[in-house]
């Protein structure tokens, strides 16, 4: 009689290594990413029907989120899970401010409203920075990889739809990055190289989902 243990397919699956973090983030946010592209002013932007005022409003309400991400990454740049992501070359807050001045004039901060959805998004990031800095991985993934992936297409589409020149499209230009494709791969690889325990991984995935939901809320509010 063969006394060797029975090894089931389910057991084999349970011993497989979990997906790398960037892959896990992509899977966890797949549906929300699709929803974000189909919602509010982002959907209008992708269709080429967004107005100049709506686009300026979108940048105005994303700016505080970027400022909080970049403040958090700089504050915690020596954190073992964040040091590879604290990369000023990818930061967008300064470019957003430049575009806002081109779109709405030097007094844009007083003329373009910051909506509750925009405040809530930034406040969530500030809370993450103060209480669990590793959650900034999720916000870097959602914003920066998205910008690096779709920015060039959006730059062309907005330039055509709104008649914008380069002075109002700095957000999509990464002038300190000579090879966007290589940088994008390196950024994803840096996230994949982060090793978190099961609970921390689950928290980062949940934060990325919440970040997409916050982006959708901003987009929908601006379309109202």
The annotated binding site for heme b is made up of 26, 33, 141, 188
What number of residues does the chain have? 224
DSSP label of 83: T
Q: Are residues 40 and 216 in contact, defined by beta-carbon separation less than 8 angstroms?
A: yes
Instruction: Please enumerate, by residue number, every residue annotated as part of a binding site.
Output: 26, 33, 141, 188
Give, to the nearest 10 degrees, the angle between helix 198-223 and helix 52-75: 160
Alpha helices by DSSP H, 132-179: 136-140, 146-162
Taking the C-alpha atoms of residue 54 and residue 62, their distance in angstroms, rounded to an integer, is 12
Tally the C-alpha atoms within 13 A of residue 126's C-alpha that lie toward its C-beta: 9
């Amino acid at each position: 009689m063969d006394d060797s243990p029975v090894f089931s397919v389910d057991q084999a699956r349970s011993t497989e290594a979990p997906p790398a973090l960037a892959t896990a983030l992509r899977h966890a946010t797949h549906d929300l990413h699709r929803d974000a592209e189909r919602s509010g002013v982002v959907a209008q932007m992708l269709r080429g029907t967004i107005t100049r005022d709506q686009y300026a409003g979108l940048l105005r309400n994303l700016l505080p989120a970027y400022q909080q991400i970049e403040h958090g990454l700089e504050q915690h740049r020596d954190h073992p899970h964040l040091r590879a992501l604290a990369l000023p070359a990818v930061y967008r807050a300064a470019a957003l401010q430049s575009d806002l001045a081109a779109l709405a004039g030097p007094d844009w901060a007083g003329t373009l409203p910051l909506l509750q959805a925009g405040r809530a998004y930034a406040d969530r990031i500030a809370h993450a920075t103060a209480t669990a800095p590793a959650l900034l991985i999720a916000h870097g993934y959602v914003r920066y990889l998205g910008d690096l992936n779709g920015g060039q297409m959006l730059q062309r589409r907005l330039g055509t739809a709104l008649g914008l020149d380069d002075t109002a499209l700095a957000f999509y230009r990464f002038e300190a990055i000579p090879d966007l494709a290589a940088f994008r791969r390196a950024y994803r690889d840096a996230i994949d190289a982060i090793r978190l325990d099961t609970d921390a991984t689950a928290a980062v995935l949940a934060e990325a989902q919440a970040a997409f939901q916050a982006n959708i809320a901003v987009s929908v509010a601006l379309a109202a």
